[in-house]
Amino acid sequence: MTTIQQRQVEIIASIAAAAYIQPILSNGFLFEGDVRDNFYYASYLFAASVDAAIPFEGNRKEAKDKAERVFLNLLGIQDQDPASSTYGHWPLNLRPTPQEASKNTLPVELMGSLMVYFAQRYQGQLSEALRTAFDNTLRHIYQSNFYRKAVTNYGHHEAKYTAAKLILGQRYGDADLIKDGHESLRITLERVTSKGMTEYGGLPWFWHWVQAFTCAWQLTQDEEIRSDLAQMLDYLWNERATYYLGGAWVGPHARIWPHDMPRDTNVLHDYVQFGDFKLPAPMPRTEYAGFLVYEAPTHCLETALQRRSTPVEIKRQVPKQIGQAEHEQDHLHSYVYITENYAIGGMWERIREFDNEQHRWDVAFPLDHLEGVNHAYFFHPDLEKPEGDLRHQSEYTEVLFHRHVIMATYDIPENQPGYIKGCLPLGEWVESPTGLFGRFANVYLAVFIQQPYKREILEDRCFVTSQGRKNAVVVECIDLAEAESHGIRDVHHFADLMLAKQPHFGENNILSYTSLTNDTLLVSGDPTKEITSLVNGEAVDFTSYTVA
């Protein structure tokens, strides 16, 4: 058994143990909130019940019976009426009852292909009733034609449709559907390799790409199609490795959920592939990491796992989503500075992504280096969704990224919330009227804030708020080895040194700063200024930003 397989077994055993003790609700399901969790947990429980190689302390017969009951209930609430507008679909949540809950297009997109995988892998161990139920369900999925859509946006929905075309086409001997799926795969592969992914850092979307195409790769028998799927997966894992740091996803994100930020917890596929951090106890996205695997190329593993003391800068062009770009060549620009102990950077341009969940900038740290959250960032909350989950940023920000420094200005109109908020990891912090200076693991972090602030120490993070319609934040990060070269002995000495380097908050929202490496940085928060960012007197050069 390879180390990758060992980590998969560890995941299966852990989730199966949770599923075994999870009580079945009065409606016959394990969960009401997301119908897919019933499928995932039942899959892991069934796998542990029939495979003696998977550690399991419960009664395996009882576990198998429980998993099959959940499966039968799940398959029984699929819309199997060919005349229905939701034919082949499931409800997403099961309230008020599984039978009354409205059907949703999302569950079948990913779960449908994974059901093919499960039914094929365990066909010899399913009861006759369950095997028949899966056969009926999968045929309804195939006949529903939900996946027969052209590729136009190159996003995660179409990635899942493409995989479904290949998987269902093969299962039902549909040569035309396989051909359609193969063509969809080819044009998607050409698009992302030549222009990049519009869903940059888009969790959980990215993992849906990985799962869908890994599922198709594991099931597909046609060698030419399998080769193209391997190329797609090589690309995806290279993308993941580029922005990987000890379980953290560094850099900007097109979308984040609370389990992605400010602590990375959607990490099971990372754990299987890289394994350089502890398997976390909370698993908010179990999905199929314990079953599906495609081993990343050696160069991807080296990129992800062999971060050296010599930092790297990643400067990327990112295509805007279809409908957002005025011209074919319109791009966003992503910048990340990655060291072995931290990564710092973000997206130069603010854009309103789906559900306004763009995560603009932050400092990220390896998961095992910290207790609690592993990201540090500030933002102005959007008026429409100012809830307390540290997402949904407004447009009233200008930024500058340069190596281990981030500068951000906030020019907030009267009709918007008049404050910024931020999240910092737990650690040893020194407070001053103009900033916070911290040490955790192998890193020192300086955070200058223009306006007065308040810091609350919570169970897993520091929460910071700062009032004022003209505000700014400067963040500088330095690891212990470099700190020693500056004669820094401890966090108090670091604070003393940095307090002598106060940023200058000038008129017209001009912010200037000289870094520890003596780089002079200037950013203007005035949108009427032609040049908003200067590094050592020079405007930022975006011509050096590449697709890959």
pLDDT tens figures, 391-425: 999 999 999 999 999 999 999 999 999 999 999 99
Q: 247 and 368 in contact (C-beta within 8 Å)? A: yes
Which burial class, exposed, middle or buried, applies to 509 when counting CB atoms under 10 A from its CB (0-12, 13-18, 19+)?
buried
pLDDT of the residue at 328: 57
- The tally of CA atoms less than 13 A away on the side-chain side of residue 405 is 22
Neighbours of 62 (CB within 10 A): 11
Instruction: With CA atoms as reference, report the closest residue to 479 among 449, 510, 525, 516.
Output: 516
Instruction: With CA atoms as reference, report the closest residue to 445 among 362, 361, 340, 335.
Output: 362
Query: What pTM value is reported for the model?
Result: 0.96
pLDDT of the residue at 204: 87
**What CA–CA distance (Å, rounded) separates 3 from 413?**
54
Q: What's the token pair of residue 499?
A: 């307090």
Sheet order of strands, 428-432 included = 397-402, 405-411, 470-479, 443-449, 435-440, 428-432
pLDDT of the residue at 386: 59
pLDDT tens, the chain, 548 aa long:
899 999 999 999 999 999 999 999 999 999 999 999 999 999 999 999 999 999 999 999 999 999 999 999 999 999 999 999 999 999 999 999 999 999 999 999 999 999 999 999 999 999 999 999 999 999 999 999 999 999 999 999 999 999 999 999 999 999 999 999 999 999 999 999 999 999 999 888 999 999 999 999 999 999 999 999 999 999 999 999 999 999 999 999 999 999 999 999 999 999 999 999 999 888 999 999 999 999 999 999 999 999 877 899 999 999 998 766 556 568 999 999 999 999 999 999 999 888 889 999 999 999 999 999 999 999 999 886 656 778 999 999 999 999 999 999 999 999 999 999 999 999 999 999 999 999 998 999 999 999 999 999 999 999 999 999 999 999 999 999 999 999 999 999 999 999 999 999 988 789 999 999 999 999 987 766 666 788 999 999 999 999 98
Looking at the DSSP bridge assignments, the partners of residue 409 are 398, 472
pLDDT of the residue at 531: 63
Contacts of 69 (CB under 8 A, 6+ apart): 24, 28
Q: 339 and 307 in contact (C-beta within 8 Å)? A: yes
**What CA–CA distance (Å, rounded) separates 205 from 153?**
14
pLDDT of the residue at 309: 74
pLDDT of the residue at 528: 67
**Which residue ranges make up each domain of the chain?**
1-146, 370-544
pLDDT of the residue at 509: 81
DSSP state of 393: B
